[in-house]
Every structure is written in C-alpha cells, then in structure tokens.
Structure 1
Amino acid sequence: MATIVIFFPVLQGTLTYAVVGLISLAIIVELVLLTPAAVRRFRYTVALDGIHTSSGVLTTKTCFVPMQQLLVIEKNQGPILRTYGLVSIRLQVPGTFVDIDGVTEDAFAVLQEEVRSILSQHDRG
C-alpha cells in the first residue's frame, strides 16, 4: 500500500480524505444510531426463578441471575446519574456480578421489593 502512495502522490490526499471520512462516518453511526438503540434495547425481568437481562442491537447478550444465588443488590449513583435521577444496580452472585445501568430510583425500589417478596416466599415454601 505504501508503494502505491509513493508512485501515485495524487492519490495520497484522496486516500487520506477517504480514510478520515470512513472513520468519521463510523463514529457518527455509532453515536447517533447504535448507542441510543442499545440503550432502548436493554431489558430486565424479575421472575420467580431469578432475574433475566437482555441487551444489544447487533449482537445480543442475555444473562440469568438465579434468585437463590443472589448475594447482594447494590445501588450506585455517581454525580452524572444523580443529576438525572438515575441509579446503577449491581447484582452480585458467587464469582461474578451483573450491572443494570440507568434505572430510576422508583424502578430500583420496585426491583428490590420484588426480590424480597420472592425470597420470602422461597423461605416460607
């Protein structure tokens, strides 16, 4: 490729502009289309057997946290999330954790109450 640029100096500027243009286009597509779509595509569900999460647009990721293995539910809120009234939830299980980002305080309270209710039913049953 370098030998082509040396033999054809006219293409050197054109090739540079093409590469910069493609990189710029990729960044714009990522920021404008894919990131908002990925945020809209994140889902979590609290069920009797555990917490199911799914996310992703081009590649999807699903995760299952068994209710009986759930150790800790952490709520984190930095200055940026606090500004928008959001929290980040970390579900800790033996050996790993699952993060749920950008959740409202009310949604966190509902999730926490649902988990408590399900675990108390398991303890009684």
Structure 2
Amino acid sequence: MRQSPKERIAADAIKAWQLNATLMALIPLIVTIALFILANIFTFSYWYAIGLLALTLVESIVTILIIPKIRWNRWRYQIYDQEIYIQNGILIVTRTLVPMIRVQHVDTKQGPILKRYGLASLTISTAATTHEIPALLEDEAYALRDQIAELARVEQDDV
C-alpha cells in the first residue's frame, strides 16, 4: 500500500474554516431567536425554541471547534512528476491519484476569508471532475499551480 502524502495545507486553514463555520452558524441562531419571538407573540411553548437552541449550540461547537482541526489534520497532498496524490476526509478518508496527463487546467482562487489569512485554494480540473487543495499559502499555491501546469504540459508533449 502506498504511503500517505507528506505535504500539509497551511495551519491558518483552521482559523479560516472556523471563521466560515462561525458565519454559517449565525443562520440557525437567527432562526432560533425568531422561534423565541414567535413563541412570545403567539403564546406557545418555549420548549421548541429551547430544544432548537440546544441543538444549535451543539452543532456550532462541533462545526466551529472540532471539525476544522480534524479536517486540517487529514488533509494532505503530494505532487509527483507523473501524478498528484490528494488525501482528505473526516470520517471517510479519500485518497485520490490524478495523473498529470489528465490535467486540463489548474486554477487558484481566493475568497475574502482566505485572503484575510493570506491563503488560496488550488483547483485541478480534468475532463471528468475537479479536485481542490484548499487553504495553501498564497505563494505556495501560485508556485504549485505553475509547477503542475508545467508538469502537465510536459506529459502531454510526451504523448
């Protein structure tokens, strides 16, 4: 069996994912507050709102504090001359090999949260699907993009 890839994504990925999870956790919190208001206006039991609040708090703790650390710990990648090896997953770990000869184009992208932490994601497109290596340091993402593009070009010239 092949060894796991050695390269890790940036450690600031944890902070970026936590910020994203915090922003996403605001939606259920707003719904919970609305349910408390509706319970007050229409005089029905607060237990529905209390139950939803407990569920929202548990979900927020798990998605903000626990999942980003596990996700970062599992994310690995390795760039070889002939292929790209990607490993990710939380409960189910997926290991993907992308042959360089199948790479059609490579992109980097950066949203406002990644930009705040100086990170960028690398997207590798093949005819069948798209693979992403998230939250790399900006310079590293740009260097990998150029390296993969060059290796893919060399592979296609050999055919």
TM-score by length of 2: 0.57
State the alpha-carbon separation in 2 of the partners of residues 120 and 71 from structure 1. 9
- Who is 1:9 aligned against? none
| Residue aligning to 2:118 | 85
| Pairing of 1:1-125 with structure 2 (within 5 A) | 17=50, 20-116=53-149, 118-119=151-152, 122=155, 123=157
Deviations 1:8-61 (A, max 9, x none): xxxx76787456424422331221111222133211111132111111222222
Structure index of larger Rg: 1
4+ aligned runs moved over 3 Å, structure 1: 12-20, 116-125
Distance 2:83 2:69 in 1: 27
Q: Which has the higher contact order (CA 8 A, sep 6+)?
A: 2
CA separation in 2, counterparts of 1:47 and 1:124?
A: 16
The number of residues matched between the two structures is: 114
Give the aligned partner of residue 6 of structure 1. Answer: none
List alignment gaps of at least 5 residues for structure 2: 1-44
TM-score (norm 1): 0.69
C-alpha separation in 2, matches of 1:28 and 1:88 = 25
- Alpha carbon RMSD of aligned pairs, Å? 2.8
State the Cα distance separating 1:62 from its structure 2 match: 2.4
Please, which runs of 5 or more residues in structure 1 have no aligned partner?
1-11
My pick for the range that moved more, 114-123 or 22-31, is: 114-123
The corresponding residue for 2:4 is none
1:120 offset after TM fit, Å?
Answer: 6.3
- Could you tell me how far 1:67 is from its partner in structure 2? 0.4
User: Kindly, what percent of the aligned residue pairs are identical?
Assistant: 24
Mark the CA change 1:121 to 1:27 in structure 2 (over 3 Å): closer, same or farther.
same
